[in-house]
């Protein structure tokens, strides 16, 4: 049997690693990990935008008896949001020099393993940053700073103007964390979390994930008894730094510290990570090289969007020193 070419080795190895890359990227972030557990990472066939049916829309409602006239007027409502997909690629490049120094199948496979691992970490870190973005960086994935905003009464999210439609505004509150007395900060965080929780609970529908920066996480952790500290065997066992708050998991995430920091209290049942078929952290079908390049390059591609169907049941806790 003929020895496979370098191009064939690169192609087949990346195809073999596809599922591992997908799992590692989605398990790298607490939000994506929870969405995957709830089967809310969805592969879609295509479309210019990702259309998300809303879980809330105002319609006419009337109590009546007997032959009272029922409302028939068509009321202007919005039934869906549209999210523009973002595209990204991480490259795996083997230079001609590296190939000359690593001849033979085993040597090339060892070289590839390191290259793929580095591309995987690159994809993990940049998708993580995108999940917290506010949409101000061109072409970047639009993330939580836009979907669950500091100023929810302004801005267009999913094609819907928040200033026009009050139902499309997330909840927001501020926590004063002075940093001088951990007991005082702990109380302030607990009070803020409790107040926000009550705003977001609708019967059995309630938040399941809190993403906190270092100040909020450490203040909440202060004073907790050891037996109360760890969450159930979901995110905690996956390696995330997590505590339990009521029935939600409170997770420390350094990327939640972007200005002004604080925490996100999320009901992830209204969120999806929607990825286009063929670009679900998979090798792209592009040329391996160009005539002026001494080497081989393959790309791992992503295309998709983080979507939200109900902003009113999501909370943003900002922080300040006074």
Using one digit for the tens of pLDDT, what is the confidence trace for 113-128?
Answer: 899 999 999 999 999 9
Query: Bridge-partner residues for 295, per DSSP?
Result: 95
pLDDT at position 289, please?
A: 81
Residue 49: Cβ within 10 Å count: 14
At residue 7, φ and ψ (nearest 5 deg) are -60, -40
The candidate with the shortest Cα–Cα distance to 139, out of 303, 308, 309, 311, is: 303
What sign results for the dihedral spanned by CA atoms 26, 31, 37, 39? negative
Half-sphere exposure of residue 193: CA atoms within 13 angstroms, side-chain side: 28
Query: Bridge-partner residues for 43, per DSSP?
Result: 275
To which residue do tokens 């005082």 refer?
A: 184
More confident residue, 55 or 33: 33
Residue 193 belongs to what H/E stretch? helix 182-200
Using one digit for the tens of pLDDT, what is the confidence trace for 290-307?
Answer: 888 898 899 999 999 999
What average pLDDT score do residues 207-214 get? Answer: 96
Asked if pLDDT for residue 231 goes beyond 70, the answer is: no
d(CA 300, CA 316): 33
| Domains of the chain and CATH, by start | 6-55+82-320 (3.90.1690)
pLDDT at position 2, please?
A: 47
pLDDT at position 76, please?
A: 64
Using one digit for the tens of pLDDT, what is the confidence trace for 133-149?
Answer: 998 999 999 999 999 99
Using one digit for the tens of pLDDT, what is the confidence trace for 235-276?
Answer: 877 788 889 899 999 999 988 888 789 999 999 999 999 999
Asked if residues 301 and 85 have their Cβ atoms less than 8 Å apart, the reply is no
Q: Exposure string (b/e) for 90-107, b if CB count within 10 Å is 16 or more?
A: bebebeeeebeebeeeee
Using one digit for the tens of pLDDT, what is the confidence trace for 39-93?
Answer: 999 999 999 999 999 987 667 788 999 999 998 876 666 789 999 999 999 999 9
SS (H, E, C) 204-268: CECCCEEEECHHHHHHHHCCCCHHHCCCCCCCHHHCCCEEEECCEEEEECHHHHCCCCCEEEECH
pTM of the model: 0.89
């Amino acid at each position: 049997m003929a020895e496979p070419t370098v191009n064939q080795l690169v192609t087949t190895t990346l195809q073999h690693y596809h599922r591992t890359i997908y799992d590692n990227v989605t398990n790298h972030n607490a939000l994506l990990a929870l969405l995957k557990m709830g089967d809310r990472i969805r592969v879609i066939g295509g479309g210019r935008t990702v259309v998300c049916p809303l879980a809330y829309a105002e319609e006419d409602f009337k109590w009546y008896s007997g032959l009272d006239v029922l409302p028939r007027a068509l009321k202007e409502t919005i039934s869906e949001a549209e999210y523009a997909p973002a595209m990204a690629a991480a490259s795996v490049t083997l230079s001609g020099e590296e190939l000359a120094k690593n001849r033979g199948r085993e040597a090339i496979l060892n070289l590839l393993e390191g290259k793929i691992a580095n591309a995987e970490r690159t994809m993990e870190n940049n998708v993580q940053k995108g999940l917290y973005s506010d949409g101000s960086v061109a072409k970047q994935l639009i993330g939580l700073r836009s979907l669950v905003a500091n100023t929810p009464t302004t801005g267009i999210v999913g094609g819907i103007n928040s200033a026009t439609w009050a139902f499309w505004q997330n909840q927001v509150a501020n926590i004063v964390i002075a940093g001088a007395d951990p007991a005082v900060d702990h109380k302030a965080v607990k009070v803020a979390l409790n107040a926000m929780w009550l705003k977001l609970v609708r019967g059995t529908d309630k938040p399941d994930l809190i993403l906190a920066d270092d100040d909020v996480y450490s203040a909440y952790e202060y004073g907790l008894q050891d037996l109360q500290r760890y969450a159930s065997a979901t995110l905690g066992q996956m390696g995330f730094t997590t505590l339990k708050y009521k029935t939600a998991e409170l997770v420390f995430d350094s990327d939640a510290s972007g200005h002004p920091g604080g925490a996100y209290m999320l009901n992830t049942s209204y969120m999806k990570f929607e990825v286009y078929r063929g670009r679900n952290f998979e090798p792209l079908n592009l040329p391996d090289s160009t005539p002026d390049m001494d080497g081989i390059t393959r790309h791992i591609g992503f295309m998709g969007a983080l979507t939200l169907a109900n902003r009113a049941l999501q909370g943003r806790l900002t922080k300040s020193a006074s």
